[in-house]
Amino acid sequence: MVMISKIPLDLQREKVLLFLFLACASEIEEEKKMLIADPSQKGASIVAADEESFISRHGLEHTLYMWYPAMEISDEVIRYGGFLEGGASDGGTADCSEKRPVVLFSHGNMGITFQSYFLMEHLASHGYIVVSPEHLGNTFSDNDESRKPELIFRRPEDISDAFDWLSTESDVQECIDPDAGFAVIGHSFGGYTALAISGAVIDTEATAARCAEYGGWLCDDVAEWAAEHGDGIYERRDPRVWAGVPMTPAAYETLIGGLAEIEVPQLIWGGAKDDLTPVDTVVRPIFAGVEASKSMGTIEGAGHYSFTNACEIVATYPDCEDDYLAPEEVHGILNEAVTAFLARERGLSGWESHLPSNDGRVLWE
C-alpha cells in the first residue's frame, strides 16, 4: 500500500531548508575547529602589547606585559622595558570579534616579564591573549634571596591573580571567557611555577628526604617554610589551567613528592647544553614523575637561556656563542611546537604534522 504524505508542501520545503541550514552550520563549525595558520609561521592577527599593573591577593602591585590580537594599532613599535624593540605595536584596540584563548607566562629566577617575547608575540598572532606578570622579589631588578621560601608558594598565586585581573579588570576582559581557563608557560623557576599551578603539590617531607640524600637548589628554602608553617602537603593548583608548557623547569627537589598529582597535559622542554637545569638530573626526572598526558622535547645545542630573548638583552651568556644553536633557531622550534600543542589541547585539527615535528634537532620522548 502506498502511503501519501499528509504534510503540506510548504512545511516539507521548510524542513528541507532547515536540514540544509543545519548541515551548512555544522560544516562552518568544523572549519572553526581547524587551525587557520601554519603553527611554524606568524599567525593572521596583528599583535599589540601593553604594559599594565594589578594588585594581587597579597596586596602587592605587579607590573605585567600583555599581548593580544588587535584591530587597530598605534604607529609605534613596542620597546620592552623602554629599550628592547619588539615585533608588536605599542598598544592598540583589541580585536574582540571572537572569544580569545588565554596563556599566562611565568618568568625565570631573576627574570623579566618580557624575557621570552618571541613566543608571546607568536602566540598572540595566532589569536591568543598572553599575560606575563612579574614575580615581585624575584626579578632582575629586585631579587631578594631571603624571599625564596615565600616565592616558592606565592609564584603560582601570582599567575592565578593575573588571570583574575585579566578577566575582571583589564581592557580586554570582553575578549575572553573566564570559564574557559588558561594555559600556562614558564621558564626555569617559571617552569616550576607552571608545574605547581598545573597541580604538582609540594610535599615538604618528601622534599626533605630527597634533599638529605642529593641536595638541591631550593632545599633550604623549603625547609625554612616547613619550620615556620609546618611539614605537610601544600597545593597551589588552579583548576582553570588546561595545559602546561614548562621550559627547562627547575626545582625537581621541590616537586618530587607531587608531580603525579598533575592531571592536565604537559609539554616539557629541555636544552641538551643546559648546565643550570640539566636534562638528565632535573628535566627528565620531572618528566618521568608526571603521569598525565605528556611529551618532552630536548633541543640539541640549546642552553638554559636559549628559551628566552636573553641574547638580545645581554649578549654575554654562553648560549649566545657560536657553539650553541642560534637563538632564532630554538625560537622557531618552540613557536611551532607550542602553537601546535595548544591547538591540540583546544580540540582543533591541523596541528598533526607539527607535533612532534620531524626536526632532527629535537629528541622527542
Q: How far apart are the first and last CA of the chain?
A: 66
Which cell goes with 200?
Answer: 604538582
Number of domains in the chain: 1
**Does some domain include residue 48?**
yes
Q: Tell me, yes or no, whether 83 lies in a domain.
A: yes
Please give the pLDDT value at position 358: 87
Residues spanned by the domain of 146? 40-364
Q: List the CATH number of the domain containing 268.
A: 3.40.50.1820
Evaluate whether 307 touches 335 at the Cβ level (below 8 Å): no
Which among 120, 115, 163, 155 has a CA at the least distance from the CA of 136? 155
Q: What is the pLDDT of residue 5?
A: 44
By CB atoms closer than 10 A (0-12, 13-18, 19+), residue 111 is buried
Q: Which residues lie below 8 Å from residue 127, measured CB to CB, with a gap of 6+?
A: 43, 44, 45, 69, 98, 100, 101
Instruction: Please report the DSSP string for 80-137 in residue order.
Output: ETTTEEEEEEESEEE--SS---EEEEE--TTB-TTTTHHHHHHHHHTT-EEEEE--TT
Q: pLDDT by residue for the chain (365 residues), tens digit each?
A: 444 444 455 555 555 444 544 544 444 444 458 877 899 999 999 999 999 999 999 999 999 999 999 999 999 999 999 999 999 999 999 999 999 999 999 999 999 999 999 999 999 999 999 999 999 999 999 999 999 999 999 999 999 999 999 999 999 999 999 999 999 999 999 999 999 999 999 999 999 999 999 999 999 999 999 999 999 999 999 999 999 999 999 999 999 999 999 999 999 999 999 999 999 999 999 999 999 999 999 999 999 999 999 999 988 899 999 999 999 999 999 999 999 999 999 999 999 999 998 899 999 99
Residue 123 lies in a domain: yes
Q: What is the model's pLDDT at position 36?
A: 76
Distance CA 287, CA 140 (A): 28
Distances (CA, A) of 67 to 83, 125, 289, 295: 18, 9, 33, 26
Phi then psi for 297, rounded to 5 degrees?
-120, 125
Q: So what's the pLDDT on residue 10?
A: 55
Cα torsion angle, 108, 109, 113, 114, sign: negative
Phi/psi region, residue 294 (left: phi>0; alpha: psi -120 to 50; beta: rest), is beta
- In the structure grid, which three cell numbers stand for residue 124, read together? 598572540
Can you tell me the distance from the alpha carbon of 126 to that of 101, in angstroms, rounded to the nearest whole number?
A: 10
Residue 21 included in any domain: no
Give residue 160's pLDDT. 98
Specify if 112 maps to a domain: yes
Asked if the structure places residue 6 within a domain, the reply is no
pTM reported for the whole predicted model: 0.91
Query: In terms of Cα–Cα distance, which of 160, 187, 176, 170 is closest to 241?
Result: 160
Helix (H) or strand (E) holding 255: helix 252-255
State the pLDDT at residue 35. Answer: 78
35 within domain boundaries? no
Q: Would you state the pLDDT for residue 8? A: 54
Evaluate whether residue 233 is within a structural domain. Answer: yes
